[in-house]
Amino acid sequence: APPLKVERLALSRFTTLGVGGEAEVWTVHDHAQLAAAMQAPYRVLGGGSNLVISDDGVPERVIRLAGEFAVRDLERDASLSSEREYVTGWIGGGAPLPGLVRELARRGLSGLEGTVGIPAQVGGAVWMNAGTRYGEMFDALYSLEIATPGGVRVVTPNDLEHGYRKSGIGRDEIVTRVRLRLGSSTPEEVTARMTFADEARKGQPKMKTPGCAFKNPGGVSAGKLIDEAGLKGYRIGNAMISLEHANFIVNLGGARAADVLAILEHVRSIVGVPLELEYELWP
Ligand code: FAD
Ligand code: EPU
């Protein structure tokens, strides 16, 4: 494996919001390097697509999964598969989800179509059970390899208390690899379902953003509630509530984490329903 890499870097370049100060970034390529990185307080960075990171950065080590944690083996594992179920080899937690979803379509493998357009890494998407009304990560999981400070374990989805935007995986646990449980279909059918799911994104902004700010309370669209409160276009500094979808905060260029936090606070003070944050705030 390539050697462990430890660098002081601005985290803004790793987030879809484009905000975040410096931290010590540990890029690990195998289990030995990961175990070393986990010896002191750490955080794990995925695709950075759900993060609002302080302009001062974070004091902990920031772990990035690369090397063997970023490769994917999509061959059918005959010993685990059945006539109805196609079980894959291991897919690294650091592998980009969009590329995986495209490759599954190319191979005519069905199960993750609903997650099309989510700019995450596999591990990050699993950690929060990312999804849409057309499907979520746990629909297609067969097993997960999880690294903890106490060692590595393999679990099944049934071992975890997962639900809407929630996996039941602990704060200090790292999803290093997963196996998927898929259905055999055709590229045409899988692509058609992806195109259908992608239609729901037409109203989402194509700007620097960490996705939806709040979870939908009790199945109601938080975006609809924020919109009805008249908050589209509400701006602090260079952060603004999107004019297209009110549950998205966008970076107009040079926004600061503090601006985003101030907007979140304002929204909560105006909207009459308690809103649970979907973003992760670092620190
Ligand atoms: P990060 O943002 O890097 O991290 C988020 C959390 O996951 C952190 O706590 C981090 O420590 C943890 N984490 C990351 N990797 C691992 C790992 N390997 N093991 C353990 N923990 C890990 N989300 C949806 O659910 N549905 C959507 O439709 C959706 N649409 C989006 C559209 C856009 C344009 C954007 C920018 C975001 C959208 N999101 C959506 C939000 C985001 O993509 C998800 O929350 C996703 O799960 C974040 O994954 P990530 O890899 O980017 O994680
Ligand atoms: N709406 C408004 N105004 C707005 C936004 C939405 O009136 O500003 C209305 C829409 O017109 C529609 C309804 O609210 O009638 C639902 O909107 P939408 O279809 O956009 O879905 P959502 O519930 O707001 C959820 C997820 C998204 C996911 C989409 C598509 C959450 C918090 N959000 O949004 O996930 O992409 O469905 O499936 O669950 C994310 O989690 O980061 C995310 C982007």
Q: What is the pLDDT of residue 36?
A: 97
Q: What percent of the chain has pLDDT above 70?
A: 100
Within 6 A (CB) of ligand 1 lie 16, 43-51, 65, 93, 118-121, 123-125, 127-128, 130-132, 165, 174-175, 209-211, 280
ipTM score of complex: 0.98
CA distances from 82 to 36, 79, 140, 187, 206 (A): 38, 8, 15, 20, 41
Give the amino acid at 48: G
Q: Is the pLDDT of residue 3 over 90?
A: yes
Bridge pairing between strands 61-65 and 42-45: parallel
Instruction: Please give the biggest Cα pair distance in the chain.
Output: 56
Confidence of residue 127 (pLDDT cuts 50, 70, 90): very high
67-86 per-position pLDDT tens digit: 999 999 999 999 999 999 99
Q: What is the pLDDT of residue 283?
A: 96
Give the span between the Cα atoms of 208 and 210, in whole angstroms.
7
Q: What are 102's two structure tokens? A: 């495209």
Which one of the listed residues 24, 136, 145, 278 is annotated catalytic? 278
CB 227 within 8 A of CB 281: no
250 - beta bridge partners? Answer: 240
Instruction: Tell me if residue 165 is catalytic.
Output: yes
Q: What is the mean pLDDT of residues 249-257?
A: 98
Instruction: Tell me if residue 177 is catalytic.
Output: no
52: phi then psi, degrees, rounded to nearest 5: -115, 105
Instruction: Tell me if residue 188 is catalytic.
Output: no
36-53 per-position pLDDT tens digit: 999 999 999 999 999 999
Bridge pairing between strands 91-92 and 174-184: antiparallel
Q: What is the mean pLDDT of residues 11-34?
A: 98
Confidence of residue 1 (pLDDT cuts 50, 70, 90): confident
User: Of the candidates 137, 146, 65, which has an alpha carbon nearest to the alpha carbon of residue 101?
Assistant: 137
Residue 283: burial class (beta carbons within 10 Å; 0-12, 13-18, 19+) = exposed
Q: What is the pLDDT of residue 203?
A: 96
**Residue 26 belongs to what H/E stretch?**
strand 22-28
Distance 17 CA to ligand 2 centre (A): 18
Q: What is the pLDDT of residue 277?
A: 98
Which one of the listed residues 22, 60, 102, 165 is annotated catalytic? 165
CB 67 within 8 A of CB 30: yes
Q: Is the pLDDT of residue 230 over 90?
A: yes
Tokens 């939908």 appear where? Answer: 216
The mean of the pLDDT values for the chain is: 97
Q: Which of 118, 175, 249, 279 to mutate to test the pocket of ligand 1 (most atoms within 8 A of CB)?
A: 118
CB 38 within 8 A of CB 268: no
Q: What is the pLDDT of residue 103?
A: 98
Q: What is the pLDDT of residue 219?
A: 87
Please give the DSSP secondary-structure letter assigned to residue 77: -
141 - beta bridge partners? Answer: 180
Give the amino acid at 177: R
CA distances from 258 to 19, 42, 251 (A): 10, 23, 12
140-181 per-position pLDDT tens digit: 999 999 999 999 999 999 999 999 999 999 999 999 999 999
Hey, what domains does the chain have and what are their CATH numbers? Answer: 5-68 (3.30.43.10), 70-199 (3.30.465.10), 217-282 (3.90.78.10)
Q: What percent of the chain has pLDDT above 90?
A: 99
Q: What is the pLDDT of residue 151?
A: 95
Give the span between the Cα atoms of 176 and 65, in whole angstroms.
8
